[in-house]
């Protein structure tokens, strides 16, 4: 087998050196009757070429040749080949969590740079590296708020990603948290009156997303004021990080939970991505996950180490801030390389292109009779439109035109069955937007 | 001293500051195609209080500087690709490059989790085949691929157990965890809403079965066991342990972190285990990447199947596959979308490359561990003498006499061209040297490691100061961790250039 570096003679000699007659001697502690007598029934072995052929055949059964208008938490952005070239260097790819700082300074310094970039983006003072994804980052941010406030009630906007809310509920069920949902106003933003009515001095966190799941931007300062007035913390989830290239940082939030997928990570059918928690310095000891810190070596040179480990499971066991161990380090590295490539101007330009394309797409769609913008608050690269008929039926028609239609909001929001969440990014061309608008117009002209 | 260090030598190493320190306004490393629609005016499309003009402090550098920066950083890392990485419990084995290639294919990396399922049959077939392979390997009835890592797999497993007990009328209160367990086990039990009760190991390092019998009360929901244990020892009485639990209605959870010792040899499902997680980034060779991403699928017996997290993969008419989002008894969703799909792709590529021959990998892993044990026994103290599986745990008791501890030996190993073994673990061995070579090491590499360890033992006796001040050859010496934690500096901030910044 090509991955195994031993000849039969070497195996024989090594067994002899141990004093074992056969390899089976080394498994003598497993009771005989539980040892497998036959080989496992697994497909293979496959040569390298056959492995590639197998996956190419699977790839061909997917969505090649279609144009997509899906976002909803996973975004298609330009990625540089440089990022992949860097993260495929064996020194990064095949290295472990950097516990031995002297020979993992590369990973540690890159994590430190990632933390810095995340702070700059979010306007926060400290950021970890990393959580599994935006959904678990949001959940961990809520658990962090619970530890910080000693309170148990959580108010989460219905305009937070439905799957993020699901994950929060799964974790909350056995942590003694009470999760209540707050609806949205006609503008698509959080219903502030409902929030005010629900806010009491037993609330640990108010959880919003911005841009929210309908694509619209929440105004954070009044939400932060409202939360703080009753002693609660404001947790802000960000699913579309590119928005921060033109949008104000969520500096008023006490804890930001961000999905970093938009920063150079492929959609990859939903993962692996990277979640981030960013917050204020004074909350750092309740933060979960890895943190790299700057220090000096015994000769005074700058270096980096994993720090504040007394928060973590390998030291604190059942008293840890989280059970997270393996996280998404290589994805965080990809995001670091990608954001470094883009730089200040590149990220701004990418964000501006998203904004421009979305504005253009909305204008094109609004020309179609019966199509109207559903929420009037400002948006970034996603917006909600109301169609004169069910989105599912429309999407089935679009599919015949080789278009993967917008996200169907009706599944998660039964009151929005005619509402579609449209996403365009810098990768969507004007021609594709125009083709989509034309196909949608035709779809709506079809007899029911 | 240097003639004893056969594997490594010194070479020039590039200095490199932080990327922020190289930044100069106006440089850029990435250009976008021109905008092909009218440019939006942010002042109009965003309310004034939502706008900003670029991210303050973001780096401004060119492409060559990005390449050099990260390439230089990379050369400061040790990696499997450079040599043996004997971290016990971490299973640092070779990460085949073809797995990286297939995970990046158009049609794999490009797929959106919400695209129609009729356009996702390729992705779903990958998930289905991986599920089948993991069931065959574990001997279990059902599996979820959702969890993003081992610790999330543990949580999923315990939530399944909790849901099962709740369905039977009582979630129960306690989870039993041996004192040799990974730190994630107790941390996870708490999140699942359970109290942790630690069980002391008996003198051979195994679970004290008689004590266990007394501890399993109707309050106990489950026992979390690692098998082989973190001492690298197979729990011989595991079928009996399972029976003790089952007789009292409790379940047996197995931490599958050490599955590299069992794959193709025996199956946890046959041993009486009810639920277990697998670390695909250990046994199934998806790259550790400096700390993830991983994947922690959970395999289970039939009784736990109704509680699996959503989405659930199902086969419909004519072999059409679908993900179902609603199940009445499900514990819910543990992660957005469909697991760490890209990691699952790599694990399947690994399994397909071996096929049934994966048993040979297990045999070689156990062979290497025993070969190293044989040659270091006596040189280092072996606190538990039962047969080793895929890893061997020594202690620093012999070297302690000269004031040299396991961390010193580990750091000295760096000078010899190896990554250290695991030092801080398992907790039941003070001063542990936990060595897991994996199947990826040749006899030559094992011999070099053995020579290095013997040489360090000799140094510890004759020149302990040399070992205690190691490493001597790295670009930085031992770092001030206490200082780092006392006054944390967790991000770069612009400030007037200081002398140390020049590095």
Under DSSP, is residue A265 helix (H, G, I), strand (E, B) or coil? coil
Domain spans of chain B, in order of start = 2-74, 101-356, 357-476
CA-based nearest distance A5→chain B, Å: 5
Task: List helix spans (H) across A260-390.
Answer: 313-316, 329-366
Q: What angle do CA B56, B58, B59 make, to 5 degrees?
A: 145
Residue A174 counted as domain residue: yes
Q: For residues A315, A318, A319 and A321, what is the CA-based torsion angle, rounded to 10 degrees?
A: 80
Q: Which two tokens stand for residue A390?
A: 């069910």
CA-to-CA distance for B172 and A398, rounded, in angstroms? 52
**Torsion sign across C-alpha atoms A312, A315, A318, A319:** negative
Give pLDDT tens digits along chain A (448 positions). Answer: 999 999 999 999 999 999 999 999 999 999 999 999 999 999 999 999 999 999 999 999 999 999 999 999 999 999 999 999 999 999 999 999 999 999 999 999 999 999 999 999 999 999 999 999 999 999 999 999 999 999 999 999 999 999 999 999 999 998 889 999 999 999 999 999 999 999 999 999 999 999 999 999 999 999 999 999 999 999 999 999 999 999 999 999 999 999 999 999 999 999 999 999 999 999 999 999 999 999 999 999 999 999 998 888 887 888 888 888 989 999 999 999 999 999 999 999 999 999 999 999 999 999 999 999 999 999 999 999 999 999 999 999 999 999 999 999 999 999 999 999 999 999 999 999 999 999 999 999 988 7
Q: Are A391 and A419 within 8 A, CB to CB?
A: yes
Residue A7 counted as domain residue: no
Greatest C-alpha distance within chain A:
84
Based on the domain organization, do A351 and A393 belong to the same domain? yes
- Predicted pLDDT at B499: 53
- Predicted pLDDT at B496: 67
- Predicted pLDDT at B14: 94
Interface contact B50-A29, CB threshold 8 A: no
Based on the domain organization, do A141 and A188 belong to the same domain? yes
Based on the domain organization, do A326 and A394 belong to the same domain? no
CA-based nearest distance B190→chain A, Å: 6
DSSP states along A63-110: -TT-EE---TT-------HHHHHHHTSHHHHT---S-SGGGBHHHHHH
Based on the domain organization, do A405 and A273 belong to the same domain? no
A107 vs B contacts (CB less than 8 Å): 73, 77, 290-291
Q: Which two tokens stand for residue A363?
A: 């204008």
* Domain B101-356, CATH class in plain words: alpha beta
Count of structural domains, chain A: 2
What average pLDDT does range B185-197 have in this prediction?
A: 93
**Cα separation values, A248 from A281, A293, B30, Å:** 20, 27, 23
Task: List helix spans (H) across B192-286.
Answer: 209-215, 238-247
Give B100's pLDDT tier (boundaries 50, 70, 90): very high
Interface contact B333-A89, CB threshold 8 A: no
Please say whether the structural domain B357-476 has been given the CATH code 3.40.50.970: no
Interface contact B42-A246, CB threshold 8 A: yes
Q: For residues B352, B354, B358 and B360, what is the CA-based torsion angle, rounded to 10 degrees?
A: 180
A91, A102, A270 member nearest B337 (Cβ): A270
Mutation site for A-interface testing, chosen from B30, B91, B369, B427 by largest number of A Cβ within 10 Å: B30
Based on the domain organization, do A127 and A152 belong to the same domain? yes
Based on the domain organization, do A281 and A379 belong to the same domain? no
Q: Is B444 exposed, middle or buried (0-12, 13-18, 19+ CB in 10 A)?
A: exposed
Looking at the predicted structure, is the pLDDT value of residue B10 above 50?
yes
Based on the domain organization, do A321 and A405 belong to the same domain? no
Domain boundary among A280, A303, A338: A338
Interface contact A40-B46, CB threshold 8 A: no
**What does the pLDDT look like over B347-377, one tens digit per residue?**
999 999 999 999 999 999 999 999 999 999 9
CA-to-CA distance for A153 and A144, rounded, in angstroms? 13
Interface contact A323-B288, CB threshold 8 A: no
Based on the domain organization, do A169 and A292 belong to the same domain? yes
Q: Which residues of A36-72 are buried (b: 16+ CB within 10 A; e: fewer)?
A: beeebebebbbeeeebbebbeebbebbbeebbbbbbb
Mutation site for B-interface testing, chosen from A249, A343, A358, A375 by largest number of B Cβ within 10 Å: A343
- Name the phi and psi angles at A439, rounded to 5: -65, -40
Residue A5 counted as domain residue: no
Based on the domain organization, do A327 and A357 belong to the same domain? no
Domain boundary among A320, A338, A356: A338
CA-to-CA distance for B50 and B257, rounded, in angstroms? 47
Based on the domain organization, do A212 and A270 belong to the same domain? yes
- Name the phi and psi angles at B332, rounded to 5: 110, -150
Residue A26 counted as domain residue: no
Interface contact A112-B267, CB threshold 8 A: no
Residue A301 counted as domain residue: yes
Residue A34 counted as domain residue: no
Percentage of residues in chain B having pLDDT higher than 90: 91
Nearest to B35 by CA among A224, A206, A352, A62: A352
Nearest to B96 by CA among A115, A30, A233, A55: A55
CB-side exposure of B406: number of CA atoms within 13 Å?
21
- Predicted pLDDT at B53: 86
Residue B476, H or E segment: none
ipTM above 0.90, yes or no: yes
What average pLDDT does range B144-172 have in this prediction?
A: 97
Interface contact A78-B32, CB threshold 8 A: yes
Based on the domain organization, do A226 and A175 belong to the same domain? yes
The average confidence (pLDDT) of chain B is: 95
Q: What domain range is A314 assigned to?
A: 81-338
Give B477's pLDDT tier (boundaries 50, 70, 90): very high
Domain boundary among A298, A313, A338: A338
Q: How is residue B310 annotated by DSSP? A: S
Q: Beta-carbon neighbour count of residue A301 at 10 Å?
A: 15
- Tell me, what CATH number does A354's domain have? 3.90.1150.10
Q: Which two tokens stand for residue B232?
A: 């690298």
């Amino acid at each position: 087998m090509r991955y195994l570096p031993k000849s039969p003679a070497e195996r024989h000699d090594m067994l002899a050196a141990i004093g074992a007659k056969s390899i089976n001697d080394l498994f003598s502690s497993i009771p005989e009757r539980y040892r497998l007598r036959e080989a496992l029934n697994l497909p293979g072995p496959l040569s390298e070429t056959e492995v590639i052929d197998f996956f190419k055949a699977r790839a061909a059964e997917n969505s090649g040749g279609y144009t997509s208008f899906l976002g909803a938490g996973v975004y298609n952005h330009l990625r540089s080949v440089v990022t992949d070239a860097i993260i495929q260097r064996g020194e990064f790819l095949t290295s472990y969590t950097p516990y031995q700082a002297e020979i993992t300074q590369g990973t540690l310094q890159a994590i430190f740079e990632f933390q810095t970039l995340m702070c700059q983006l979010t306007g926060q003072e400290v950021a970890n590296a990393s959580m599994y994804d935006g959904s678990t980052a949001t959940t961990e941010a809520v658990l962090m708020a619970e530890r910080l406030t000693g309170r148990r009630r959580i108010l989460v906007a219905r305009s937070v990603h439905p799957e993020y809310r699901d994950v929060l509920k799964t974790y909350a069920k056995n942590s003694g948290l009470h999760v209540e949902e707050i609806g949205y106003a006609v503008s698509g933003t959080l219903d502030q009156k409902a929030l005010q009515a629900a806010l009491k001095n037993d609330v640990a966190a108010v959880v919003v997303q911005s841009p929210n799941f309908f694509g619209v931007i929440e105004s954070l300062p009044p939400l932060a004021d409202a939360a703080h007035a009753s002693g609660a913390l404001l947790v802000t989830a960000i699913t579309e990080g590119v928005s921060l290239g033109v949008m104000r940082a969520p500096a008023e939030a006490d804890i930001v939970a961000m999905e970093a997928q938009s920063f150079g990570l492929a959609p990859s059918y939903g993962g692996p991505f990277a979640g981030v928690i960013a917050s204020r310095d004074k909350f750092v000891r309740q933060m979960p996950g890895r943190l790299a810190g700057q220090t000096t070596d015994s000769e005074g040179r700058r270096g980096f180490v994993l720090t504040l480990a007394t928060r973590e499971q390998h030291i604190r066991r059942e008293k840890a801030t989280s059970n997270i161990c393996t996280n998404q380090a290589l994805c965080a590295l990809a995001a670091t390389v990608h954001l470094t490539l883009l730089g200040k101007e590149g990220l701004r330009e990418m964000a501006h292109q998203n904004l421009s394309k979305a504005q253009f797409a909305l204008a094109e769609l609004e020309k179609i009779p019966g199509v109207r913008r559903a929420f009037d608050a400002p948006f970034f690269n996603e917006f909600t439109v109301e169609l004169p008929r069910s989105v599912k039926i429309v999407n089935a028609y679009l599919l015949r035109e080789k278009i993967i239609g917008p996200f169907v909001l009706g599944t998660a929001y039964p009151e929005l069955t005619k509402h579609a969440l449209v996403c365009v990014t810098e990768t969507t061309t004007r021609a594709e937007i125009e083709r989509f608008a034309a196909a949608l117009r035709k779809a709506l002209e079809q007899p029911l | 001293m240097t003639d004893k260090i056969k594997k490594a030598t010194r070479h020039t190493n590039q200095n490199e500051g932080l990327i922020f320190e190289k930044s100069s306004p106006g440089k850029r490393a990435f250009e976008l195609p021109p905008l092909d629609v009218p440019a939006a005016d942010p002042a109009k499309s965003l309310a004034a209080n939502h706008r900003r003009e670029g991210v303050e402090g973001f780096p401004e550098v060119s492409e060559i500087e990005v390449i050099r920066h990260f390439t230089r950083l990379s050369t400061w890392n040790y990696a499997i690709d450079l040599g043996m990485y004997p971290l016990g419990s971490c299973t640092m084995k070779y990460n085949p490059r073809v797995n990286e290639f297939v995970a990046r294919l158009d049609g794999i990396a490009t797929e959106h989790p919400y695209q129609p399922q009729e356009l996702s049959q390729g992705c779903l077939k990958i998930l289905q085949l991986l599920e089948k392979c993991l069931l065959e390997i574990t001997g279990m009835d059902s599996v979820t691929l959702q969890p993003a890592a081992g610790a999330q797999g543990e949580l999923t497993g315990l939530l399944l157990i909790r849901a099962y007990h709740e369905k039977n009328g009582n979630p129960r209160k306690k989870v039993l965890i041996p004192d040799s367990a990974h730190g994630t086990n107790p941390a996870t039990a708490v999140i699942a809403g359970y109290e942790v009760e630690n069980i002391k190991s008996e003198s051979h390092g195994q679970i004290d079965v008689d004590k266990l019998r007394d501890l399993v009360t109707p309050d106990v929901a489950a026992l979390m066991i690692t098998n082989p244990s973190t001492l690298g020892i197979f729990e011989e009485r595991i079928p009996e342990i399972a029976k003790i639990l089952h007789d009292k209605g409790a379940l047996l959870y197995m931490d599958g972190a050490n599955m590299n010792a069992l794959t193709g040899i025996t199956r946890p499902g046959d041993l009486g285990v009810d639920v277990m997680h697998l670390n695909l980034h250990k046994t199934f060779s998806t790259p550790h990447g400096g700390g993830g991403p991983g994947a922690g699928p959970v395999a289970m017996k039939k009784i736990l199947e109704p509680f699996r997290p959503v989405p659930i993969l199902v086969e419909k008419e004519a072999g059409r596959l679908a993900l179902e989002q609603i199940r009445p008894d499900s514990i819910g969703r543990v992660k957005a979308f469909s697991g760490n799909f890209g990691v699952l792709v790599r694990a399947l590529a690994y399994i397909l490359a071996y096929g049934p021959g994966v048993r040979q990998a297990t045999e070689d892993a156990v062979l290497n561990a025993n070969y190293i044990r044989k040659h270091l026994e006596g040189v280092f103290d072996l606190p538990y003498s039962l047969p080793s599986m895929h890893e061997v745990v020594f202690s620093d008791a012999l070297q302690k006499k000269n004031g040299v501890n396991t961390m010193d030996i580990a750091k000295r190993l760096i000078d010899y061209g190896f990554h250290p073994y695991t030092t801080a673990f398992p907790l039941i061995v003070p001063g542990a040297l936990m060595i897991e070579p994996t199947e990826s090491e040749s006899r030559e590499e094992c011999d070099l490691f053995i020579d290095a360890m013997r040489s360090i033992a000799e140094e510890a006796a004759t020149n302990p100061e040399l070992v205690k001040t190691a490493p001597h050859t790295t670009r930085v010496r031992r770092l001030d961790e206490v200082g780092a934690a006392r006054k944390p500096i967790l991000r770069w901030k612009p400030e007037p250039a200081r002398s140390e910044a020049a590095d």
